[in-house]
Structure 1
Amino acid sequence: MKNYQLRRLSNQPILQTSDVKPSIDGFDVLGAFNPAACFFGDEVLILLRVAEAPKARNGYISIPLIEEQDGVPTLTVKHFPEPYEPYDPRVVTLQGKVYLTSLSHLRLARSKDGIHFTIDEKPFLFPARMDESFGIEDARITFLEGKYWITYTAVSEHGPGVGLAVTTDFVHVERIGMILPPPNKDVAIFPKKINGQYMLLHRPMVSEIGKPSVWLAESADGVHWGNHRYLFGGRGQSSPDLLASPFAWEGGKIGAGPEPILTDEGWLICYHGADPTHSYSLALALLDKDDPTKVLARSDVPLLTPELPWEREGFFPNVVFSNGWLKWPDNSEHAGKIWVYYGAADSGVGLAELIAE
């Protein structure tokens, strides 16, 4: 694999939480981050994850979620009097049940130059099914066979699964539904069939047995997936002192980022790793172009780590996380360049360029 570097194009976020208006009366935006990215006509589109929550009420914790009312999934807010001390500000256990402290949806933002964005005021995709009752998060976009395939994490009380929606115009969108059940996330679809099959990367979530890892699956129709195979996991996970391992940065968690990019060397994969302190970094892997079950190379060290104040401080600190990148077309000002959009501390969006040296 070529010697790649990730170089920030700005020392400031290109988008931050304060840039996004709440879509619901009486709610605040807690975070705008982790965007998918694609070209559409002469524009760059990103699909932000926007986390919203009800404005604080003294003495209460207010939890937004989708509940079924008369058979219709409906936005509701539950109010709990119990105080709590959050270890993870995103999750809370109240009266013996686990909830998310915010409800996420997907919001479009548009740009002519890929840097300065105009953000839609209303959601592009809002939770509308009971398997999305705790929110929809962290989309990936793949352009394939004339359609934009959007995968996202659909969260409910039963855990995170993977939803799929498709669009041709980013106005009308068709929800296909859940394609991988809980617990699973971090799905990226390859932008072309391989050996006649659709293919994707995914991340099953493990408990007592097994370690976090990236898997490969295939499909004849893009909806029903099988032939699941382990691809790679975090190195150093079996070390008796993981924090002392040179691979501690990917030893806690690991998952695929944006859709793979086909290069002259093979399929280039951007992935995230997290260490045991929940600090997230970005790295690369290279898969064989004809047989992506073969891992040809991986980063030995992360290419991007949380270093700047806005990457280290936020709703969930010490995070750089990418699920969107672009390879500029040959007839553009930035011909051949790869731009990586990344969420920072669950509070904003940064931009970096992937450089082969």
Structure 2
Amino acid sequence: MALRGTLKDFGIADIFQLIGHQGKSGILTVRNRDQEVKIHFAVGSIARAESATRHKKDLLGAMLVRAEVVSEAQLAQALAVQKNTLRRLGDVLLEQKAVDEKSLRAFAKLQTTETIYRLFLWDSGTYEFEQAEIATDPGTEAIRSENVLMEGFRQVDEWPGIRRKITGYSMSFERREDLDALTAQASGAGDDDFDAAFGEFEEKAAPKDDRLKDIGQNERIVYQLIKPERDVQKIIDLSRLGEFETCKALVTLMTAGIIAPLVEAKRKPSAEATVGGIYAAPRSRWVPAVTRVLVTAALLGVAAYGAYFLGVSPQTWLGELGTRTHRGYVPADLQAELSRGSMARIREAL
């Protein structure tokens, strides 16, 4: 029996939680008016994601070209071989030594996660899950459903703030500060503070630069890619971080005053948007604040709907949610937002 319905009844988060929690294997097909995505689950983890309506820009070969990992000529040659031999494009590129295996797998994972996180921006559609044995690639690491779920929540919460700063894919930036110099200066300030604590210097130690407190590895990667001729889309393509992480890093750098917008968003960026998070329909301001509460309640309710399909007792599942939050099924802070009375009423209804 297939599990099917509409995303208005149960959202992507509910479905991922249900499949991941029970360790099911099969194919989840999600459709809306324009797109169809198939997510392959192996024992509750995501093995890969495919899109029957994937645009040319979202294909693995196109991603490699935009990231300047392979040239257009190399891709064209590999595609010709693929057409004649029906082999996988990745295998052909490896054989031609156009790309190394580590980079290929990294881009394959990025393609999968970008496809999945796009689903969290859908507000309508249908889903269907068919249980089946899923063949997995031994060299590809499966992605835990719980990790995707929590990351999806984070992105939904943070995208509105990012969109207020990054208004289009054709924006470009200039460097206002030397990040390496700021880091070196801050490191020196830290040494002065240590020495001053022992009275080795009479002068007052230089204060640390608080602007660096939110600067991490992603911000440093993005900073190195900043050039006036590169727009947001090109930086996304080159960073290999994905759209959300790249845009978040740009906002962090702007907030710190390390970079500044150089060109406002024009109609057309350097390439068509890969995911479209910047242009996603804005949500009401209160949505991020209550998303976790609503989703948690929905996850509890979906136990009744999925009990027959999965052959599991909803009461048992609810008990696990109440006692095993440390395993990531429902975070403790989310569970705390449900009153004891609500939990009791749900158990009675089941």
TM-score between both structures, scaled by the size of structure 2: 0.23
TM-score between both structures, scaled by the size of structure 1: 0.23
* Structure with the bigger percentage of strand: 1
* Structure with the bigger percentage of helix: 2
